[in-house]
Amino acid sequence: MATIPEILTERFAPLLTDTPGAEAGVGPTADPRFGDYQSNAAMVLARTLKTSPRALAEKMVAALDVSDLCEPPEIAGAGFINFRLRTDYLERQTGRLAGDERLGVAPVTSPRRIVLDFSSPNVAKPMHVGHIRSTILGDCLGRIARFLGHEVITDNHIGDWGTQFGKVIYGWKHFLDPEALKTDAISELVRLYREVNALEETDAAVKSAAREELVKLQQGDPENLEIWKEAVELSWQAFQHLYELLDVHFDERLGESAYHAALGPLCEKLAASGLAEVSEGALCIFFRDIPALADKPAIIRKSDGGFLYATTDLATIEHRVREWKPDAIWYVVGTPQALHFQQIFAAAARIGVTADLQHIAFGSILGEDRKIMRTRTGENVGLAEVLHEAIERARAVVAEKKPDLPGEERDSIARRIGLGAVKYAELSQNRLTDYVFSWDRMLSFQGNTAPYLQNAHVRIRSIFRKLEGKFDATAPVKISNGEERTLALKLLQFGEIVPLVLEDFRPNLLANYLFELADIFHGFYEACPVLKADEPVRGSRLVLCDATVRILRHGLGLLGIECPERM
């Protein structure tokens, strides 16, 4: 189903054929007093043609054929062209949307294969609040990309190889508490690491022994490999519990260890080809032709022979290109890694990688003191603690509002509200900004929050529960007042908004659209009786209600948020 901007852009096309690259520039008006949609084509084109924007706009309006969908276009300001949809056309378009299973969102015409790298926790460590943004943002982008028709391969590149394993293995052999490992594997692995790390501060023999355990692991010692494999699997089980809670799924989980054997040959190949050179004993890739990286080489092998993240990431890109032949690889990783990815992407281009490599950066989550969230002891706040507290707080809210709900139903609603609140707090923000994590704000039933949107969904569903007789989804839409018109226009914008999310990876566009839709529906509901209206108004308003609830449910689903039937 074509969107209104697409239809208007098509009507503009014959007027722009003489100017290559010219665009219609159609979008919703900022102020509904000036119409429904607006084009700045005349203002942009006038610069190229060196003519008056307003005079050009007048010529365009005279030549435009839009009488079947709009009232006569109006020219505003220096040359904006404003369009107000005809009521009968708006009714037909809204009716088409109501009967469309994709709710007006057309699949892309050129689908791509996308590898999506996100979450990436470290083995033998708990997932913490810092993983919220990568995990939730990555999952949302994957859902939207798939809905638009792209093929998405999600890969959780876990940190399962590194110097910490020497300490973990030494601790496993000397201090392991098997019962604690069964009860809470991650906590026991963290305890082992910390105990050995503390001993190394005062005991050189322990430090040397831990390093030897790491070397034995890297050389394939059977005992150390078994300990390592068990630590990885126990860690993944703990991670998977949280992923299941969040309804986040991965197609692959190829960690750093999957590429360990490829690192040496990769370095030799880069050195032999002249793409890497030795500097002060280390093997580096220099980017002297890129001003921003001219003095920032990527080190791929240290002077002591050790490899770095850059080496592993290049080997990972080579594997992904060879195995999956993607059109694009997206990395959902925090802003502090921006330089790293600039270097890796530049290096990948030099070895012939043509896939579109994107670093989808994001800011930090702050506590209410506007500092990075930490526990009282200065450690990262655990993700499990955050999610379970969200559910418990939501359960308390539900119990207060609906004390008679059965326990099982209350738990189900609390899970949807609590997890939805955490996800929406993340996805409604501009991903590049830091934001303050506030329980009171994110669990509020007022304002731009998940509970507000979920409650709007419940409110509309209650209309249909009270409906006597059968709902006719094919009833014609008839618009008789401003509230109905505003709601119909907003419904039609769903097909415009969803594709925009991937243009700069901004789920907040969809989140804010859903909030505006819920707000507009509230005004419609207050002004326009539904069940008490006479036909055909009643049937028309029910169709508007049904389209609204479907968009709310589907839109929140693209954000990874479930909607309860009752709250």
φ, ψ of residue 82 in degrees (nearest 5) = -105, 140
Confidence at residue 372, expressed as pLDDT on a 0 to 100 scale: 74
Res. 1 pLDDT band, cuts 50 70 90: confident
Average pLDDT over residues 453-464: 96
Res. 178 pLDDT band, cuts 50 70 90: very high
Would the pLDDT of 378 be above 60?
Answer: no
Closest CA to 257 of 122, 130, 118: 122
Are 530 and 545 in contact by the 8 Å Cβ rule? The answer is: yes
Confidence at residue 377, expressed as pLDDT on a 0 to 100 scale: 55
Confidence at residue 101, expressed as pLDDT on a 0 to 100 scale: 96
Confidence at residue 48, expressed as pLDDT on a 0 to 100 scale: 84
Please enumerate in sequence order all residues whose Cβ is within 8 A of that of 304, keeping only pairs 6 or more positions apart, or say none: none
Confidence at residue 480, expressed as pLDDT on a 0 to 100 scale: 94
Please enumerate in sequence order all residues whose Cβ is within 8 A of that of 247, keeping only pairs 6 or more positions apart, or say none: 139, 560, 562
Two structure tokens written together for 437:
């994590």
The rounded distance, in Å, linking the Cα atoms of 428 and 449 is: 8
Residue type, 514: L
Residue range 152-176, pLDDT digits in tens = 999 999 999 988 899 999 999 999 9
> Of residues 147 and 379, which shows the higher confidence score?
147
Strand partners, 436: 366
Task: State how beta strands 37-39 and 80-83 pair.
Answer: antiparallel
Average pLDDT over residues 432-448: 90
Average pLDDT over residues 63-68: 93
Residues comprising the chain, all counted: 567
The percentage of residues in the chain with a pLDDT greater than 90, rounded to a whole number, is 84
Average pLDDT over residues 272-285: 96
Average pLDDT over residues 502-526: 97
Res. 133 pLDDT band, cuts 50 70 90: very high
Q: Roughly what angle, to the nearest 10 degrees, separates helices 537-558 and 450-466?
A: 140
Indicate yes or no: pTM above 0.75.
Answer: yes
Two structure tokens written together for 508:
């907040």
The rounded distance, in Å, linking the Cα atoms of 513 and 143 is: 17
Two structure tokens written together for 6:
């697409």
DSSP three-state, residue 282:
strand
Name the average pLDDT for the chain: 94
Domains and CATH numbers, the chain: 4-85 (3.30.1360.70), 164-246 (no CATH), 450-558 (1.10.730.10)
